[in-house]
């Protein structure tokens, strides 16, 4: 498993905790819930994803809502929502990661941690955002 995928898994855990029990970005950024040593590059990327996703939550959620069809943000599965949030943050603000890589990683996280249709759902939302809302070149 790649370093960045592991970082995305930590970020997913962090956003899950933020959503369910309201842990702040600052507290999550310490990665204190992880019971093993985390290499620096993984730690740094995970912290960037956690902080950035929470700091840009309003911008990110407005894009999710824009592309939801017959569904409300509040009804989304917490795991799917967290995966979407870290992925959209990455697509908007981390230009060293190609959008297609971010989308592929999000689909894999959805398959691993989400429900039966999570990968497909996540792909649909992220691809719609990539096509209609992003103004950068791959």
Q: Convert the pLDDT of each residue in 89-113 to its tens digit.
A: 999 999 888 999 999 999 999 999 9
Residue in 91, 89, 99 with CA at minimum distance from that of residue 49: 89
Lookup: tokens for 119: 């990968």
Q: Report helix angle 40-55 to 57-67, nearest 10.
A: 70
pLDDT tier at 138 (50, 70, 90 boundaries)? very low
Domain boundaries, the chain: 3-133
User: What is residue 26's predicted lDDT score, i.e. its pLDDT?
Assistant: 86
Span 3-133: which CATH code? 1.10.940.10
Name every residue whose Cβ is closer than 8 Å to that of residue 130 and which is 6 or more positions away in sequence. Answer: 91, 99, 103
Question: pTM for this structure?
Answer: 0.92
pLDDT tier at 86 (50, 70, 90 boundaries)? very high
């Amino acid at each position: 498993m790649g370093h960045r995928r592991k970082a995305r898994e930590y970020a997913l855990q962090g956003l899950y905790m933020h959503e369910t029990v309201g842990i702040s970005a600052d507290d999550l950024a310490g990665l204190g819930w992880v019971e093993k040593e985390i290499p620096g590059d993984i730690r740094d990327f995970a912290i960037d994803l956690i902080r950035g996703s929470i700091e840009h939550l309003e911008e990110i959620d407005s894009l999710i809502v824009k592309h939801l069809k017959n569904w409300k943000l509040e009804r989304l599965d917490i795991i799917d929502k967290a995966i979407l949030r870290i992925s959209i943050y990455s697509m908007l603000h981390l230009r060293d990661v190609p959008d297609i890589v971010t989308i592929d990683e999000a689909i894999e996280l959805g398959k691993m941690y989400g429900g039966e249709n999570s990968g497909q759902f996540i792909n649909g939302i992220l691809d719609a955002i990539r096509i209609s809302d992003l103004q950068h070149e791959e």
